[in-house]
């Protein structure tokens, strides 16, 4: 059961207009945003930050950004964000083989060494205590430039916020996100948990 009930999408028209961004990424407005709009300044700031973080400025693709988000959310244990991230990765063109084998990104042939470096960075940066070290840095700089590393850490940090928000709120997971979670993560024990 959610800690705070989401409001109608009609509650704040500015939030509603900004939230159209999520129709592309997820196919619906997330319940997390509908809850944030109880304080519209938060919902609007969040959506604008999300749009800035997910903009493509270099070689970090939209699909890779969503896989980075999934690894971060998996490390944090947030089922809500895991389902959203894997759904968005699918919608942004992640290869089927990557979606089916995201748990094995370190060893599966569907992932390039550059993608592995990015996903290892996501995992290390999402751990408490933080595990980013010289080895992670060296691998990142083998494949990515500083602007791209900033983009990646933007995704990791955005999902750090979302993981805390949605796990604390017990945000109700939407049906389409549940379907994506079951499809791509179910073989590894994906459960909706408290996000019913």
> Mean pLDDT in the chain?
95
Instruction: Provide the pLDDT for residue 187.
Output: 86
Count of CB atoms situated within 10 Å of the CB of 100:
16
Structure tokens at 181: 């979670």
Q: What is the CATH number of domain 60-189?
A: 1.20.1290.10
Over residues 18-32, the mean pLDDT reads: 93
User: Could you give the CA distance from residue 108 to residue 95 in angstroms, rounded to a whole number?
Assistant: 13
| pLDDT confidence of residue 1 | 78
Q: What is the pLDDT of residue 190?
A: 87
Helix orientation angle between 146-169 and 62-76, rounded to the nearest 10 degrees: 50
Q: Which pLDDT score is estimated for 51?
A: 96
- pLDDT for the residue numbered 58: 87
pLDDT tens-digit profile of 115-162? 999 999 999 999 999 999 999 999 999 999 999 999 999 999 999 999
DSSP assignment of 13-48: HHHHHHTTHHHHHTSS--HHHHHHTTSHHHHHHHHH
pLDDT at 189 over 90: no
Mean pLDDT, range 43-63, rounded to an integer: 96
CA distances from residue 196 to 18, 162, 182 in whole angstroms, order as listed: 26, 17, 14
Section 21-48 average pLDDT: 95
Report the pLDDT averaged over residues 93-104. Answer: 93
* Sign of the C-alpha dihedral computed for residues 152, 154, 155 and 159 taken in this order: positive
**pLDDT score of 188:** 85
CB 79 within 8 A of CB 192: yes
């Amino acid at each position: 059961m959610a800690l705070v009930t989401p409001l109608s999408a009609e509650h704040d028209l500015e939030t509603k207009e900004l939230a159209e961004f999520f129709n592309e990424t997820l196919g619906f407005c997330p319940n997390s945003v509908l809850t944030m709009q109880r304080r519209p300044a938060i919902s609007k700031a969040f959506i604008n930050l999300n749009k800035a973080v997910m903009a493509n400025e270099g070689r970090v693709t939209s699909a890779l950004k969503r896989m980075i988000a999934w690894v971060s959310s998996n490390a944090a244990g947030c089922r809500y964000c895991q389902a959203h991230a894997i759904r968005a990765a699918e919608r942004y063109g992640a290869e089927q083989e990557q979606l089916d084998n995201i748990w094995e990104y370190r060893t599966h042939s569907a992932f390039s060494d550059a993608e592995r470096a990015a996903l290892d960075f996501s995992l290390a940066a999402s751990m408490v205590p933080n595990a980013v070290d010289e080895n992670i840095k060296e691998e990142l700089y083998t494949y990515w430039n500083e602007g791209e590393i900033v983009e990646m850490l933007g995704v990791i940090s955005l999902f750090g916020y979302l993981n805390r928000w949605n796990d604390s709120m017990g945000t109700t997971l939407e049906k389409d996100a549940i379907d994506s979670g079951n499809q791509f993560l179910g073989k590894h024990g994906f459960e909706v948990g408290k996000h019913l």
